[in-house]
Amino acid sequence: MTTSCEGKVALVTGTSRGLGKAIAQRLAASGATVALTARTAEPDPRYTGSLHETLAEITGQGGSAVAVAADLSRPDERERMFAEVVEQVGAPDILVNNAAVTFLRPLDTFPDKRVRLMFEMHLMAPLHLAQLAVPAMRERGRGWILNVTSVAADLPDGPPFSDFDTSAGFGIYGAAKAALNRLTKSLAAELFADGIAVNAAAPSRPVATPGAGTLDLAKTDTEDIELITHTAFTLCTGDPTTMTGRIAHTQPFLREIGWPS
């Protein structure tokens, strides 16, 4: 077990399953006290995984964690959750914005309510949680903020456009993640002098998680979850003077840092 996160508090959102759970487990294994948050607190037959299951797995392996359920699409819930985390384990040194909600359909029929919900979760919630976390990070002179993004933020090639680009319905999802990438770069620039690293990490291909399976995104050509987990861990523990402002796609990033050695 490494000790690079010993004494640090990490707040990871969307930790009942999937990427968020894997990232939280990796940070806990490295010595961090991990604050877990998601909507699904108790096991529910409609979903795979829950906060309390993640909590039990981490503590059962000797890690330190707390769980605070919250609906992160609501600003008041974000503030309540953050305050409870600070009260229980202290202000986070590391913030991982992973929680998301995703709907895929053509833009000309996309319901306004779902557009607003997706931008609230993919953009407004990460910004709000960063605003809540930055004061303590700035006081300490250190901090790490990681936003989980997607290659869907990249502009599609064309014309002509592929069948995937014209039928997959990624327009709103990609737009939200593109905005998150721009937010990441701007925060990195503004917080650089404070010793706070701000990065984004994207799987190079769909990861076979429960959420991706629900959207039929992980049937073929999938990526091992360990690649995004290691990318996230590296960006959450790197030197803020050099490893900040990165929009890291897993496979090229891991080749760059020579992992695995």
Single out the catalytic residue among 170, 173, 233, 253: 173
Distance CA 76, CA 84 (A): 12
Closest CA to 14 of 32, 29, 31, 34: 34
47 is catalytic: no
Which residues participate in catalysis according to the annotation? Answer: 173
